[in-house]
Structure 1
Amino acid sequence: MPSDAVNILGAVNTSLGSVNMNSLSVTEIQGSLVIDSRLVATELGVNHSDWFRNVIKKYQAQVEQAFGILRFENGKPETGSKGGRPEVFAWLTEEQSTFYMTLSRNTDQVVQCKSGLVAAFTEAKKRVQQPSPNLTPIQILAAIAQQMAEQERQQLETQRQLDLVKSDVATIKQIQSDAELALKELPPATKPVPVKTTRSSLNKLIREYCHKTSIRHNDAWRELYREFRYRFHIDLGIRAANGRSAPLDVAESLDVIDDLYALACEMFKGGER
């Protein structure tokens, strides 16, 4: 095989092993330096399943938005175990693992783990920068096979996530469709909606004017009735007092409620005089 091909493969997969610092083993996968989340949990002194669920998955969206897609993998059953559901873990890059470490309180064990993590990635980067050794044809084929397998795994994972998104979108559309159908099937109203009267419109106008100007309601009504007396020569206040009713009742009985509303619009429309 040409030496150029050997050099390229050596650059892609510099080390077939891993860098171990304080039990934190950094591995190179498809040109990226990563660490097993199970090792980080062990160094932190926490249960990996709990840490994976309460930290890694909980903040997955923030991590992927800032530091790239997380790479998940199913762990192999331990030797001698009866099988069962394999444990899922994550291959964390330096940025991803550093972010997750910041979410832990700085106890002595956490500080030691952070220090070991920095040292492990620093040593791994130094080894990656070293000239790659000459590889035998068998090692080259093994590196190619490993790279192809990793690419296929990533493609499958990407497709799985796309399928989940499509499924979620379909579920949301179905929920919307069901909701729209349920609205259409609602029984008609048993009573007609009350018609908005001139009196209610007048009350709303006065409330809005007082709210905007901080003028008291009684003062606004008193000014309106006084101006109405000057314009239409009808004293709604006196007539209401004589008949023991409200001025608006008098305006409606005299069929001048529309005139009163028109005057109010002229005086108070827009909250200004």
Structure 2
Amino acid sequence: MKPTIMVGVNPTSIDSVIIGKDQEVKLQPGQVLHMVNELYPYIVEFEEETKSPGLETHSKRKRSGDSDSTEMGVAQEAKPETGLEPASNSSQYSVPPKEGEGASPKKKSLGHWSQGLKVSMQDPKMQVYKDEQVVVIKDKYPKARHHWLVLPWTSISSLKAVTREHLELLQHMHTVGEKVIADFAGSSKLRFRLGYHAIPSMSHVHLHVISQDFDSPCLKNKKHWNSFNTEYFLESQAVIEMVKEAGKVTVQDGMPELLKLPLRCHECQQLLPSIPQLKEHLRKHWPK
């Protein structure tokens, strides 16, 4: 997946952004354009109208290239006009704060969508529990009736960065996950699993605490299902034991291929041809 390009737009009159065939979006002064993934060639045009002393109107257009380097080109062209400066991560751009605001680096960074957890974990509306080591938030796109994420306040990018020094933290995350189940779903007959995705799409280590009904409109495709119901989902206790023994977490090769496996019920192992039929089948195991 290519990085998100975030371009600050501050036109004096009219800016037209043409993305793909026959799709044109006009932005108002001060709006920000987000382009995610180059799924097809796109054109970005900046049109500025100026009036000459004779009251004649002139238009000037600037157009980005159509090559694979278009995204970077747009960001570079925007830099002198918008004041965008590259952040430490090449996929991020930060907007300098206004004088006197003294904004922190966290607030300055526009960030890539994969950094979203770092924003959500600071949002009181998303939090269901927190202590000095971790915070628990509701998954923004839950894949079951109950789906929480346990995140450490300490910045750990992924399981690859976990060492034996994090063992106590991993154990605490597991304990907190079990506490949340008891506090918020203690009366439920649903079964739960706690674990990590082998190759997570979101940055910052997070432990999934998820009920096994998978009754959610956000569970939409084979990738969603297999990420929780194959070896792609690493059990929390197994990760803890791995760190105890080896001092690190080793992810086996071929994990992405697991996301392409056929849909199979995790309760009775029956194969189902589609997500709608799988969901209908699951109601037999986990009625509302």
**TM-score range, shorter-chain basis?**
under 0.3
Q: TM-score, normalised to structure 1's length?
A: 0.20
**Greater relative CO (CA pairs within 8 A, separation 6+):** 1
In terms of fraction of residues, the more helix-rich structure is 1
Whose Rg is larger? 1
